[in-house]
Amino acid sequence: MNNVTFGLNDIVEMKKPHPCGTNRWQVVRLGADIKIKCCHCERMLMMPRPEFKKKMKKVLESAQESENI
């Protein structure tokens, strides 16, 4: 299982690109389901947490790190 930690407003990279051509997404809701927004076309997508963890490649920008600077 993928043990990468992610938080609210983080920018994550998914394994497969969105049909608009980008694979950068912003996490906009956390819970049992994860809601993400495409950084290019701003389309929203909601998926169960286990599915999200399987499809996520890595965290590109952490909202907490940029907040502490």
**Residue 44, beta-bridge partner list:** 37
Give 37-68 pLDDT, tens digit per residue. Answer: 999 999 999 999 999 999 999 999 988 765 55
- Residue-wise pLDDT for 15-34, tens only, equals 999 999 999 999 999 999 99
The β-bridge relationship of strands 44-48 and 24-29 is unpaired
Q: What is the pTM of this model?
A: 0.83
